[in-house]
Amino acid sequence: MSANTLGNGFVEVIQDQTIIDICNAQPRDMQGLPIIVPVAVAVETVADGEPDEFKFVLRIGRFGWKAQEASLLNFSANAYLNEMGITSPLQPNENKSSGRDVSQFDEVADPEDEAQPKPNLSTSKPTKPDDFLHPFGEDVEAFARFMRSTKVPPRDFALTELDIFKDIAKAGEEIFSDIKCPVCHTPQYITPPAGTAIIPIWGRNNSTPGIDFGSDDKKGVVPEVLGNKILRPFSDFMLHDIGTGDGIVQTQDAQRPARNAQKFLQQAQQAPEIQRLQQAPAEADRCVVHMVQDLSAQPTSTTAENLEGIKASGARVLDGRTANMIRTAPLWGLRVRPQLLHDGSALTTEEAILRHSVQAKDAKEAFERLSREDKQRLLIFLKSL
């Protein structure tokens, strides 16, 4: 199913630490898995007048059913390639069709959405990173700006404002809380005040600017229009196993990280702060994060038993924990989604709730124990989202 993109600019400026804090506060058996992914922030080297390599930071993923993206710009470049077949500086290679090369059917030179140089360059071609006005492709950048400019999905007016309904919807929200749905469906965030520096998990230094969130002059800080806003997405943006998983290990492969993301990820893997986050942590600080691992070797799915053998063979190590996990679906805009769950396999809200098990088993069973009236109240609240 395609996911909602409205309001994602606000989600993009949530600090990584906020998500880690939510993770640390979740009960162990319901804890989410935060995914850390590379985000391209600037051009590193230029070759032949085109951006060649990029600088990256690591952030916690929050977009896509597998939380495989943390940046709307990177997401946009991936969607251009994977959904529309348009290459760009971040994704310069055309996808194959069932493993077969399709270049003979494509007469447009890659990248199709080109980086745009600054006007009035003193040389005829860009030669250094800051010679570009739109280094990631003009269309890809415009599309990211469009997503960042959208409002969040609004609540239903009748169910939240009219006297005959609003008390029922309020009562339904209390039931939602009582049966622990908000452990994963985190109701509310407040974005950091405008001007706040967004701190990535790793990789920010003097030569690497912060992420560009669309403000004209300042990079790496929350723009005026996105600052200090209350948003109610009803998601913790982490992966969970609720028994609906797709069996696909989180690799970011469908997304093909940009050139030299691999080098960056290898360096990140060695960083003590990343290793600490990936290991079994102390009770007080117990969240474990997942990082897309060495992208150079062949994919292999991993279980605890075969891990050492795989490591010794030098093959690529993937994290088998993610195979049956899906990102907590944000519930804003729920009422306009005709089919639910990542594969569209549930046709009603009640059916989607009844499909919850494993980490959400207790919440599902608490739902089943509700009286008919309370179930109705809860469903009316969900209908108001």
349 binds ligand HEC (CB under 6 A): yes
Of residues 71, 186, 255, 328, which one binds ligand HEC by CB under 6 A?
A: 328
Of residues 185, 290, 316, 377, which one binds ligand HEC by CB under 6 A?
A: 185
Kindly state the number of chain residues that form the binding site for ligand HEC, as judged by CB under 6 A: 27
What is the distance between the alpha carbons of residues 46 and 40, in angstroms, rounded to a whole number?
15
Of residues 256, 290, 337, 377, which one binds ligand HEC by CB under 6 A?
A: 337
Per CB under 6 A, which region of 110-118, 259-267, 295-303, 358-366 contacts ligand HEC? Answer: 358-366
Min CB(8)–ligand HEC separation in Å: 15
198 binds ligand HEC (CB under 6 A): no
Q: Are 225 and 58 in contact (CB under 8 A)?
A: no
Alpha-carbon Rg of the chain, whole angstroms? 22
For residue 338, what are the CA distances in angstroms to 187, 188, 221, 345, 385? 22, 24, 37, 11, 14
Min CB(183)–ligand HEC separation in Å: 5
152 binds ligand HEC (CB under 6 A): no
384 binds ligand HEC (CB under 6 A): no
- Our CB check for ligand HEC shows the closer of 78 and 328 to be 328
Min CB(150)–ligand HEC separation in Å: 18
Tokens of 107: 């007469």
Task: Judge residue 294's burial from the number of C-beta atoms within 10 Å of its C-beta, 0-12 exposed, 13-18 middle, 19 or more buried.
Answer: middle
332: amino acid identity, one letter: W
Min CB(303)–ligand HEC separation in Å: 22
Closest by CA to 288, choosing from 239, 233, 236, 358, is 239
86 binds ligand HEC (CB under 6 A): no
Per CB under 6 A, which region of 8-16, 202-210, 314-322, 360-368 contacts ligand HEC? Answer: 360-368
Task: Judge residue 226's burial from the number of C-beta atoms within 10 Å of its C-beta, 0-12 exposed, 13-18 middle, 19 or more buried.
Answer: buried
Residue 267: CB partners within 8 Å, gap ≥ 6? none
72 binds ligand HEC (CB under 6 A): no
147 binds ligand HEC (CB under 6 A): no
Of residues 352, 377, 380, 384, which one binds ligand HEC by CB under 6 A?
A: 352
Of residues 41, 46, 183, 274, which one binds ligand HEC by CB under 6 A?
A: 183
Closest by CA to 385, choosing from 239, 181, 202, is 181
Residue environment code for 236-261, b if the CB has 16+ CB neighbours within 10 A, otherwise e: bbbbbbbebbeebbbbbeebbbbbbb
Q: Tell me which residues touch ligand HEC (CB under 6 A).
A: 30, 179-181, 183-185, 240, 242, 244, 326, 328-329, 334, 337, 340-342, 349, 352-353, 356, 359-360, 363-364, 367
